[in-house]
Amino acid sequence: MTISRIACVHSGSAKATQRFTELAGRYDFLPPEKCDVIVALGGDGFLLHTIHNCLALGKPIFGMNCGTVGFLMNEYRLDDLPARIEAAKEICLLPLAMEARMEDGRVQKGLAFNEVSVTRHSGQSANMRITIDGVERLAKFVGDGLIVSTAAGSTAYNLSAHGPIIPLGSNLLALTPVSPFRPRRWKGALLPHISEIVIENLDPDKRPLAATADFKELFNVASVAVCEDPSNTVTLLFDHDRSLEERVIAEQFAF
């Protein structure tokens, strides 16, 4: 890609602010609405916020790590930023669309590039029914919750809950239990990316649920429908020596 106009946003942390000042002293940045590409300075969480905040602009995003883990970020370097961006590899991510029906009948929606989670919102375990593409697959799940994860998000909350790491391009979603009590030995499922997953609260009066799409939280949820949304995509840019595909594969061998 040919880059002539760059915007830069940062998380506001001391480290990210310092890096932004360094870059702004060397490069002429424009507002995100007028740029060809957005540079995001921060950690993985800030990159996720940038994706959501700038989704309507349709601009590719080049993240540079000024946080901690930085799994979705490139290494911070001051030199040769335009050349790095022009040589970067593009990765297109598709989000999950969440449609939550609340206990009062309202319907609320959200997008998740990492995962949608449905978890207990009380001291008691959640009781949930799982339906996939209109077929009941689990009449009653008892546990702390369920996670529906994209491939890009499979190394985040999904992995912490002992879910599978999904290579990019595999066209799969992960359905992962959180602290399952019944069925005790159920490890979750890998599903085609075109699946529609519906999770219903079997006991909303005594066992309320919360639903989260990335960082959007909803409470007192009666049911949640989740499916891939190809109408909302984001392009992330990666240095060739920091390819996201390679990092996802390598994570399966990390100890």
In sequence order, the 6+-apart residues with CB closer than 8 A to the CB of 212 are 116, 117, 119, 218
Q: Return d(Cα 101, Cα 88) in angstroms, integer.
A: 41
Q: Is the dihedral of CA 137, 139, 143, 147 positive or negative?
A: positive
Look-up of token digits 């959640």? 126
Pick from 169, 171, 164: nearest CA to 192? 171
- Which candidate in 44, 133, 144, 203 is catalytic? 44
The CA–CA distances, whole Å, from 83 to 4, 86, 107, 163, 197 equal 10, 5, 46, 37, 42
Look-up of token digits 């883990």? 69
CA atoms within 13 A on the CB side of 141: 29
Whether 80 sits among the annotated catalytic residues: the reply is no
214 conformational bin, left if phi > 0, alpha if psi -120 to 50, beta if neither: left
Q: Return d(Cα 127, Cα 121) in angstroms, integer.
A: 12
Q: What residues act catalytically?
A: 44
